[in-house]
Structures are given as structure tokens and as C-alpha cells.
Structure 1
Amino acid sequence: MLSLVGFSMIAIFMVLIMKKKLTPLTALVIVPVVIATLAGFGPELGTMMKDGVKEIAFTGVMLIFAILYFSLMIDAGLFEPLVNLILKGVGNNPIKTTIGTAILTTLVSLDGDGSSTYLIVVAALLPLYKKQGLNPLVLTCIIMLAGGIMNILPWGGPTARVMSSLKLGHAEIFVPMIPIMAVGIAWVLVVAYILGYSEKKRIAKEGKFLDYGERDILGDGEAEMRRPKLIWVNFALTLVLLGIMIFDVIPLGIAFIIAFCIASVINYPKLKDQQKIISKHAGNALSVAGMIFGAGVFTGILNGTGIMQAMGNSVIQVVPSSWGGALNTITAIFSVPLTFFLTNDAYYFGILPVITATGEQLGVAADVLGRASLVGQASHLLSPLVPSTYLLVSLAGVEFSDHLKYTLKWAIGSSIIMLLSALMLGVI
């Protein structure tokens, strides 16, 4: 019964946002509250939602100040040399631009943090996409595809959860996945070429660029907000910030708060300019933070009611016992919808142990099932339950529903490629 409630909740949520009947924020809150109340959980909802918001609150704070920090740096002109360098490399060729997007995202994703990847790559490339008249959905699609593959890095989150849940090391779980990741990145490069070629044909056919926004290569900031003389100071500050993030010196949210305050004082000593920066970008930061806290409400209800666990168990139960010999393949296939509709914590700490216990009885090794469970990460970042996804679409100025519809088929393609390569190479 609980699993039916859960799947109905997810289905209604997806339909409402894809049909654009509700914004993601309102759907994230209203849908679970209404359905959980009708299911008899009304009296406990307050505590569930509070717990969900508590768990995600620090992420929301981090994203608020990360947006403010990088928005300030864009206004100050920090990324101008990088954008100009990329422009010289790709010229006016959409194919080079999209392939460059995939390569840049792969490199930046080495830090294992999706939010920082989105902030850096979108800040660097969105002005270029606008200049060339490329659809920004192409940008968000490629970033998400490359980020999904790189999310398998041990410090990215999912792999660490697998190792912790199954009490295995990176040699058993991650190292065998390296060639699969290489195949996945190769696939992303192919997709980038296809999308770039498609955009190039469209532009050639129309004889002009589509109007996707302001063409100012540095964004829409006013010229008086540029600080070219401070570019090396801002660069050094950003490097320190990224170093703190990579080596986990202090919590990332705190690091962004401090960095934003320092950057504000250095670049804009006058109080009115500091206030202008905050006012200018507060709307974007608040929009993202609102969706983050909405996602906290959603997951809080799913976890508190036991719906999330029930959904995972019901999927396991529908697999016939005669299919036990193919448990590795089944695990990889089901990891796609399960990691899409469930949080990583719920799947890897709640569902995977049940799968591995079943595998133990059937003679399927835990490390094989652990690696199989990572196949779904190729499309996980497209899930509406992933907070950083809302940051990506907000930065790129696209609707989440449009991003979902545009990227879904390519994300499923990534999962299929990962599955086939893992089976052919004997990794799972």
C-alpha cells in the first residue's frame, strides 16, 4: 500500500511539473503534503517535514552563497579571459563548443562536487552559448550527462555510500568501474557532437541565431561593476576557495559565506555597491534555495512515512526467484529508476543491503552487485530529488521541466551504454 502511495506521489509530481501546471517548488511541497494527509499521516507531517528540511538546510545555505559568490565574480569580470580563450579555440563552431562543454565539465567534475561544477561551467560557457545562439538546454544536457558519469568517483558520494554500506574498499568497487566511466565519457562526447551538429544545421537553415538572451559575452552585469585590475586577486581567492572545497578544510557552506564577504569588500568597498550586488542576485539565490527546501519537505515525507523504503522493497519483490542468476543485470537495470525516484541514501543504505543479502543466497558476490548499483548514476542527476539540479537550470535560465524532457532520452542512453559496457567487460 505504501509503495503504491509513493509511486502515485512521484507520478503526480512528474506530470504536474512536465505539464507546467505547478512550479517545481509548489509541486515538491503540495503533492506530498496532500497525498500523505489523505493516506493518514497528517498528524506527523510537521515533524517529518522539519526533519527533511534540517537535513538539506546546509546545502541550501551553501547554494545561496555559492550563487552570490560566483555571480559577483561574473560581474567583476573574473571569467572574461577564460571565455575569450574558449572563443578563440572554438571560433563560431557549435560542434566545438558542445564538445568543449563535455570536456570542461569532465575536468571540473574531478572535484566530485556537482554544485561547484555547475557554477563554474555555466558561468564560463553560458555567455558563449548566448553569443553563438545555441539552445541553453544543450548546455544543461551535456553538463548533466558528463556530471552523472563523473559522479561515480569515490569522493562524489554514491560510490562512497556503496563502499560504506557493503563494507568494501575502492579497489573492489571503484577501480573496476574506471573503464566503464571511460566508455561513458566517450558516449557523452558523441552526444555532444550530435547536439552540436544539430544546432549548427538549425542555425545554418535559419540563417541567424535564435534569441536566447542578452549577447553580452560577460553576462548582463553593468560595465561599471567590472574590476579588471583585481582579476588576479579574485582568481587567487577562487583558487583558495576551490582548494578548501577539495581538501574539505571547513564546511563548504561556511567557506562560501566567508569568501563572498571577502570578495564583496575587496571588489566593492562602497556599501551601496555591496547592496547592489546582493539585491541584483538575491532573486536567483532565493529561487534556488526555495526549491532546495521544497525538496527537503518532499524527501522528509517520503522517509518519515516509510514510503521510500516500501517503494524499493516492492521493486525487489516483483523480480521472480527464477531470475536469480541474472541478479547482477537486474540490479543494474533497476538502479536507473530507483536512483531516479529515491535519494542515494535511501537506495544505497536501505535497498542495496537487501539486494546483496538476496545475492548472497544466490551466490552473487556483493562487490558485483555494488558495482551494478552504480549504473543508474548515469541518469541520477536528472532526478527532481537532487538539489543541485535546480541550481543548474536556474543558472542556465531554463525551466526544469524543459531540461527534463530534453535530457531524459540522452540520460537513458547513458545508462544503457554503461550497462552494456559493464556486461561486455565483465565488471558486473
Structure 2
Amino acid sequence: MLIALSFAMFACFIYLLISGRMSAMTVLILVPTVFALIGGFGADMGDMVVKGIRTIAPTGVLLIFAMIYFMVMTDAGLFDPIVKRIVSAVGGDPVKIFVGTVALGYLVALDGDGATVYMITLGAFMPLYRRLGLSLPMVACLLLQCTGVGNLLPWGGPTARAAASMKVEMGDVFTPLIIPLLACVAWAFVMAWIFGVRERKRVGIIEFNSAQLLEARGVPGWKLYFNWALTIALMTSLVLELLPLSYLFMIGAAIAMAVNFPQYSAQQHVLANHAPAILSVAAMLFSASVFIGILNETGMASALAQSIVGIIPEQVGPYMAVITALLSIPVTWLVSNDVFYFGMLPILAEAAGHYGITAAEMARASLVGQPVHILSPLVASTYLLVSRLDLNYGETQKFTIGWSVAASLIMLGMSIVIGVIPIHR
């Protein structure tokens, strides 16, 4: 019953999301609620959703205060020097702008957090996108490639889960994948060139002065240096995890607000200006907690994972590493990383072990789907990206999915070529 319920719920969810018949927020709340009632979980729905809210709350606080921090910094002119340098380097050429977007996206993605990639990169490039009228779905697609690969760094999450689940050293999982990951990086730059050529044909190359992109902010010099020092300190603290990430952004946002807008009225004005964007992300994020709570607590996620494992015939055992890699592409979109890596991967690895496929090889194979996982409705930071670009969530999924699947297949192909994932054992 749980298997049928989970498949039906996802089918309904995907249809409503992609068709655009309902907003993502509405779908995330109503679809799991209806299917929980159908499954007879009505009495427990409240507790399930509360658990989902508890799961998502730290990320929600992180995104809300990260948005406040970077919006304050944008108003204070932190990114103005970057924009000036970028404009002087790329001018009004869409190809160069998209290549620059990917380059900055990957640089920021080194901290392993998608929210900072979106806030910093969009803070720097948004004036250029708007001035030239470039395709924002293309921008979203490129940045999702950056976070999909950045998420695979040892401190990003999935790699640590895979290593822990298979009880192998982090280096045995991540180090052999460096070349396949670099192939994905190269693919993102190819995408940037393809998108840039398309946009160059559509809008052409526009010549303009960088001063046209920037408002006259009149920020004193010492505040600019202070803001950069604060941002670097904050990013360093995030990587070192000196405090919980959400608390670090709360502290950073408070300091940034107090220094750059010391008057109470100015602080209220800044918050009022950015409240609609922040509220949109928060509403979407906490709507996802309904979906996450009901999916996990009803047992639908586990049942879905087990059913997928159950349909794999024994005769394909020697190909289990490649099968796991291919399964990870759709399955990590459907279920959380925890369910996949701690619930499903050990079962797949046990079957693969009978044919001499090692735990480290299975861990590597399980990571192939991460460029697609970043599109999952269970990934909170994607709501931030969609909101900041004012895009439709379902349309963004449709536009990006093919390119992200290609990235996963490139990662798998390169892994097979260099021998870090075996085709047959």
C-alpha cells in the first residue's frame, strides 16, 4: 500500500508541478496532505509535519538570514566593485557573462553551500542579466550545475554520507572522483558557451558603461573594507563550522545591519524593501516541510526505495555499480539523501559485494545522481534560487533537468573510462 501510495503521490506531485496548474507552495502542502489522508494517516499528520518542520527549520533560518545579510550588503554596495570589474572584462557579450557566471559560481561553491552560491553570484551579476535582458532560466540552469558539483565536496554532505554508509575512508571515495568532477565542471562551461551563443544571437552584444548598472550609493570607503572583511570572516567561519551555519548568518546579518544602517528607520526601510522576497522563500521552504515530514514519517520514502531495490533481477549483479549510478539519478530526486545513502545503498552494496564490487566503488557510483538531486523538491536552496530570479519552479525543473542528467552521465562515463566505477565485475 505504501509503495502504491508513494508512486501515486509523486506522479500527482510531478504532474501538478510541471503543468503549472498550481504553485509549488500549494502542491507541497496539499498533495502530501491528501495522500496521507488516503493512506489512513490523518490522526498522525500533525506530528509528522511538526517533525518535518523541525528538520527544515535550521535550513529555513539559514536561508532567511543569509538573504538578509547579502541583501544588506548589496544595498551597501559590496558587489559594486565586482560588477565594475566584470563589466570591464566581459562587456555586453552574453557568452562572456555566462562563462563568468559559472566561474564565480564554482568559486563560491567551494564552501559546499548552495545558498551562498546563489546570493553572491546573483548579487554580482543580476544587474548585467537585467541590463541585457538575458534568459533567467539559463542562469538558473548554470548555477544549479555549480551547486550540484560543489555539493559533492567532502564537506558538502552527500560524499560524507556515502563514505559513512559504506564504512570507507573519505579519500577512497572523493579523490578518485576528482577527474569526473572536473569533467562536470568543463561541461558547465560548455553549457555557458552554448547558452551565451544563443543569447548573443537573440539580444546581440550591447555596449554600455558600468555606471549605468549601479545606483549612486555613496558608501564610505571604510565601510566597504569592513563589509569585505566581515564577509570573508563569515565565509571562513562557515567552512570551518565554528558555529551552526544558521547562527553565523544571524550574527553576520545583525552586524551588517548595525554598521551599514545604524539608524532604526533605515533598518526598517531595508527590511521592508526585501520582505517580499524573504517571505516568498520562507513560505516555499516551510511548505516543503509538509512534503518531507509526511514522505518520511509515513514510511513512503523507505517503501519507495525498497521497491526499487526489489525489482532489480539477480542476473544483473555483476553490473551493480553502473546500475546504482543510474538509479541514483532519479532516486535521489525522489527521496532524501539520508534515505538513499543509509537506507538503499547498503542493500545495493550487499548484493554487489557477491560479485567483488567494493564498498568504495559503490559509494562513488551512488554519487553520480547528485547533479540531478540538486533539483529535488527536498533541496531547500533551490527555492531560494527560483525566488531570487522570480521564476516558476516547475518551468525551471523542465528547462534544467535534461542538462543536469547529461552532467550525471558525463560523470558516470568519465568514471568508467578511468576505472573508478566498474562496468562489470
Q: Is the 8 A contact 2:105 2:117 kept in 1?
A: yes
| Paired AA for residue 254 in structure 1 | Y
Residue type at the aligned position of 1:335: S
CA distance in 1, matches of 2:222, 2:176: 48
Provide the residue aligned with 1:121 in structure 2.
Answer: 121
1:159-308 equivalent positions in 2, closer than 5 A: 159-204=159-204, 217-218=213-214, 223=216, 230-308=223-301
Structure 1 counterpart of 2:366: 373
Partner residue of 2:382 out of 389, 408, 422? 389
* Partner residue in 1 for 2:346: 353
Partner of residue 94, structure 1: 94
Q: Give the distance between the partners of 1:152 and 1:240, measured in 2 at CA.
A: 23
Distance, in Å, in 2 between the alignment partners of 1:241 and 1:182 is 27
Structure 1 residue 309 corresponds to structure 2 residue 302 = yes
Deviations 1:304-329 (A, max 9, x none): 01100111111111111111111011
Partner amino acid, structure 2, of 1:178:
I
SS in 2 for 1:168: coil
* Alpha-carbon distance, 1:180 to partner: 0.5
1:88 Cα deviation from its structure 2 partner: 0.8
Letter in 2 for 1:194: I
86-95 or 226-235, which deviates more: 226-235
Kept in 2, the 8 Å contact 1:227–1:267? The answer is: no
Q: TM-score, normalised by structure 1?
A: 0.94
**Cα deviation digits, residues 33-92 of structure 1 (max 9, x gap):** 101111111111111111111011011011111101101111111100001111111111
The residue that corresponds to 1:41 in the other structure is 41
Give the deviation of 1:242 after TM superposition.
Answer: 0.9
Is 1:413 equivalent to 2:415 in the alignment? no
Instruction: Give identity over the alignment, percent.
Output: 41
Q: Secondary structure at the match of 1:364?
A: coil
The answer as to 2:11 corresponding to 1:18 is: no
1:25-174 aligned within 5 A: 25-174=25-174
| Contact 2:113–2:150 under 8 Å retained in 1 | no
Measure how far apart 1:161 and its partner are.
Answer: 0.4
The one-letter code matched in structure 2 to 1:348 is: Y
Aligned to 2:6: 6
Counterpart residue identity of residue 32, structure 2: P
> What is the one-letter code of the residue matched to 1:269?
P
- Aligned equivalents of 1:265, 1:365: Cα separation in 2: 54
Q: Residues 112 and 156 of structure 2 are in contact (CA less than 8 Å); yes or no, is this contact kept in structure 1?
A: yes
One-letter identity of the residue aligned with 1:6: S
Letter in 1 for 2:132: Q
Q: CA deviation at 1:228?
A: 5.5
Aligned residues of 1:163 and 1:173 also touching (Cα < 8 A) = yes
Which of 325, 331, 338 lines up with 1:338 in the alignment?
Answer: 331
Q: For the residues of structure 1 that align with 2:397 and 2:157, how far apart are their CA atoms?
A: 22
Q: What is the alpha-carbon distance in structure 1 between the residues aligned to residue 212 and residue 40 of structure 2?
A: 53
CA contact (8 A) 1:342 1:385 kept: yes
Query: Match for 1:255: what amino acid?
Result: L
1:350-384 CA-to-partner distances (Å, cap 9, x unmatched) read: 11111111112333211111100000012111111
Assess if the C-alpha contact under 8 Å between 2:318 and 2:352 holds in 1.
no
- For 2:133 and 2:19, the matched residues in 1 are separated by 26
Distance 1:216 1:343 in 2: 44
CA contact (8 A) 1:76 1:228 kept: no
Secondary structure at the residue paired with 2:333? Answer: helix
Once the 2 structures are TM-superposed, how far is the Cα of residue 225 of structure 1 from its aligned partner?
A: 8.0
Which of 43-52 and 1-10 deviates more?
A: 1-10
The one-letter code of the counterpart of 2:125 is: L
Specify the code of the residue in structure 2 equivalent to 1:129. Y
Deviation (angstroms), 1:294: 1.4
Find 1:364's aligned residue among 357, 372, 384: 357
The whole-number CA distance in structure 2 between the counterparts of 1:225 and 1:256 is 25
Q: In 2, are the aligned partners of 1:162 and 1:348 still within 8 Å (CA)?
A: yes
Q: 1:145 Cα deviation (Å)?
A: 0.9
Distance 1:127 1:224 in 2: 15
Spell out structure 1 runs of 4+ moving beyond 3 A. 222-229
Structure 2: gaps (5+ residues): none
The answer on whether the counterparts of 1:90 and 1:97 sit within 8 Å (CA) in structure 2 is yes
Give the Cα–Cα distance (whole angstroms) in 2 for the partners of residues 152 and 65 of structure 1.
Answer: 24
Q: Is the 8 A contact 1:325 1:362 kept in 2?
A: yes
Instruction: Tell me, yes or no, if the aligned pair for 1:141 and 1:407 is still in contact at 8 Å.
Output: yes
Greater Cα offset, 301-310 or 4-13: 4-13
Equivalent in the alignment of 1:212: none
Indicate the SS of the match to 2:40. helix
Amino acid at match of 2:229: A
Q: CA deviation at 1:223?
A: 4.6
Whole-Å Cα distance in 1 between the matches of residues 156 and 148 of structure 2? 10
TM-score by length of 2: 0.95
Q: Cα distance, 1:102 vs. partner? A: 1.3
Task: Report the count of equivalent residues.
Answer: 418
2:213 partner letter: I
Q: Which residue of 2 aligns with 1:425?
A: 418
1:216 is displaced (CA, Å) by 6.4
Match of 2:322 in 1: 329
